[in-house]
Chains A and B, each alone.
Chain A
Amino acid sequence: MTVKEPMSALVKNPQGAPRKNTIIEARNVDVFYGKFQALKDINITMEENSVTAFIGPSGCGKSTFLRCFNRMNDYIDEFSIKGEVLIDNKKVYWKNVAVEELRKEVGMVFQKPNPFPKSIFDNVAYGLKIQGINDKTFVEERVVKSLKDVALWDEVKDEMKKSALALSGGQQQRLCIARTLAVKPKIILMDEPTSALDPISTAKIEELMFELKKEYTIVIVTHNMQQAGRISDKTAFFYMGDLVEYGDTKQIFTNPKKERTQNYITGRFG
């Protein structure tokens, strides 16, 4: 089992600076849970191959917004949305959208590592299997490549048949990222992916994100201000359902335009 293509071959626009295209766009998005309005008139665009961080106090709507991109809110009773969410210029909430297809394009990593109670191999191969891909060599190569991409391969290569639940929390989370990568999505949504992990595992995953953004667009929700500062290109600050401020991470953290942002990032509230 070898990987044929080196990572660099897969980077889009290898010559010169990559041209940035808008891949995610929200227009006048309102979200309601019953009568409660969780998001108010959100407008935002995100570029390809960038890392965008959503920050803000608990209950500000950032996770809700993240879950609008792959429609994981569909399972919540009384959820309703107005406005448009566009991925690759396609309407996410259009009634004829095949949600399953959408989620193959927009992968998700959750707060708590949630590997399936299956072997390490079967976990990573899961997305391919449900798409009906049974070509053994292809699946094996993809599994190995995904595990290498998340720097887990060296740790698990001799025990691919072992249950994923036997791995440590940090390893499990990297496995969950590998599972998402295996189906080659365009976008990876991360909902506080390191909040349940120790500092070393967290550092590994942050390091990973630098590599991943060469191939993928990443949107991450985080409560960790330093993390947002370290890993993201752009930062969006949410407060009580409003998108208060959105801009280059450097600018948000050094020279915020709004006082509320200033107060939050300096730890005066939240």
Chain B
Amino acid sequence: MKFSEKIIVALLKFAASITIITTIGIIMVLLFETINFFKEVSFWEFITDKEWTPLFAQKHFGILPLVTGTLLTTLIAIMVALPVGLTIAVYLNMYAPKGFRKTVKPLLEVLAAIPTVVYGFFALSVVTPFLQSIYPDLAGFNALSAGIVMGIMIIPFVSSLSEDALYAVPKTLKEASFGMGSTRFQTSFKVMVPAASSGIIVSIILAISRAIGETMIVAIAAGQQPRFGFDPTVPIETITAYIVQVSMGDVPHGTLEYRTIFAAGITLFAFTFVLNSVSFWIKKRYQEKYD
């Protein structure tokens, strides 16, 4: 091999290894700090205690309130994004004229490009007051409006990836269904959606994964009160919002309080890692094989 080619190969390898080294580095730091954390707090307390008050005098280290907060906002987001996103995908694939699909799909993806801080502000200053006009007991900071706005943000994940999955279904299946005398609606929901189900499930899981990791919206609009339970009308705190709170605050480095964010971080990492692995597995395992 020529010397110049060797340099090129080395450069490419270096570029590729940066991402891997970074990932390994992050996991190492997370693990290291988490191990230190668990030297002082029992793992059992961490996963069973229903209070999370590391910054108070009366300290409790139960992650559950942060987990329920995260799950609650994510659940609300999915309840918004799944029906809307799937409807959009079916509409674009089965009903819309070709030209319309070509213009609207990229436009929808713009939704994902809006900075999340804008969404957060939108939730706090538009959605919450609007919801309060319907339900006056709603707190100023609450899981509901944060979840709804997060759902709007992840609509393009569901709609775009689901539409890709529908588009990948062989044309011959559509023909078969129409040929049997099915309406467009029947073809959509009895043939196309089931045939694309693995891709649609993957799109939902990736959207969930995105919602769990979302930080800015919940930090701005959902509050900072770790609370065990699933009441969407009161302030809560998610894992991500807690990490922001501590990072931005004046907690000194190297203390137990500081280490809590690594324990919280690794919990978050575990969630998204499992979800991404599941979606990867589904993609490989259930992709219908058509020749």
Q: Which residues of A contact B (CB under 8 A)?
A: 70, 72, 75, 77, 99-104, 107-108, 110, 112, 114-118, 126-127, 129-131, 165, 176, 179-180, 183
Contact A114-B178, Cβ < 8 Å, known A100-B183, A130-B190, A165-B289: no
From 165 to 182 in chain B, residues with beta carbon under 8 angstroms from any chain A beta carbon are 170, 172-173, 175-182
A70 to B241, CA, bound (A): 59
A-B contact pairs, 21 of them (CB 8 A): A72-B175, A72-B178, A103-B178, A104-B181, A107-B179, A107-B180, A108-B179, A110-B175, A110-B176, A110-B179, A116-B191, A116-B194, A117-B288, A126-B180, A130-B180, A130-B186, A130-B190, A165-B288, A179-B176, A180-B179, A180-B180
Count A/B pairs, Cβ under 8 Å.
65
B170 / chain A contacts, CB cutoff of 8 Å? 114
B191 / chain A contacts, CB cutoff of 8 Å? 116
CB-based contact A114/B289 at 8 Å: no
A108 to B180, CA, bound (A): 7
A104 to B183, CA, bound (A): 12
B98 / chain A contacts, CB cutoff of 8 Å? 77
Q: Does more than half of chain A's interface fall in helix, strand or loop, or is it mixed? A: helix
Q: Which residues of B contact A (CB under 8 A)?
A: 98, 170, 172-173, 175-183, 186, 190-191, 194-195, 288-289
4 cross-chain pairs, A with B, having the tightest CB-CB distances, nearest first: A103-B181, A114-B172, A108-B179, A104-B181
Give chain A nearest CB distance to B28 CB in angstroms.
Answer: 44
A102 / chain B contacts, CB cutoff of 8 Å? 181
A115 / chain B contacts, CB cutoff of 8 Å? 176
Give chain B nearest CB distance to A39 CB in angstroms.
Answer: 20
CB-based contact B175/A114 at 8 Å: yes
A65 to B170, CA, bound (A): 23
B180 / chain A contacts, CB cutoff of 8 Å? 103-104, 107, 126-127, 130, 179-180, 183
Contact A72-B179, Cβ < 8 Å, known A130-B186, A130-B190, A165-B289: yes
A99 / chain B contacts, CB cutoff of 8 Å? 181
B195 / chain A contacts, CB cutoff of 8 Å? 116-117
Among A100, A101, A129, A183, the one with the most B-chain Cβ atoms within 10 Å of its Cβ is A100
CB-based contact B178/A118 at 8 Å: no
A104 / chain B contacts, CB cutoff of 8 Å? 180-181
A70 to B177, CA, bound (A): 13
